[in-house]
A = this chain, B = another copy of it.
Amino acid sequence: MCEAAAYIIRNGQEELLLEDVDLIEPEGDHLRLVSIFGEQKIVKAAIQSLNLVNHKVILVETK
């Protein structure tokens, strides 16, 4: 499987936001994350970086 864990940087700290993420797409000025289990999160953030071999996506909060 190829899912990744999504972390969000808040106040300089990396926090785990959602595991087993399959899909991240824009929804207005937010991002919608969907896991392989169908769990969804919507956050006001941008995708900062990806490390697919380490299965890690880093988001940053946007204003």
Residues of A within 8 A of B (CB): 2-4, 21-26, 36, 46-53, 55, 57
Contacts and interface: CB of A to CB of B under 8 A. Distances in A.
Copies, count: 2
A2 B24 CA distance: 16
Contacts of A49: 23-26
A22 B51 CA distance: 6
Contacts of A23: 49-53
B53 A2 contact: yes
A17 B36 CA distance: 26
Would you list the 3 A-B pairs with minimal beta carbon distance, nearest first? A47-B47, A25-B49, A24-B50
Nearest to A50: B24
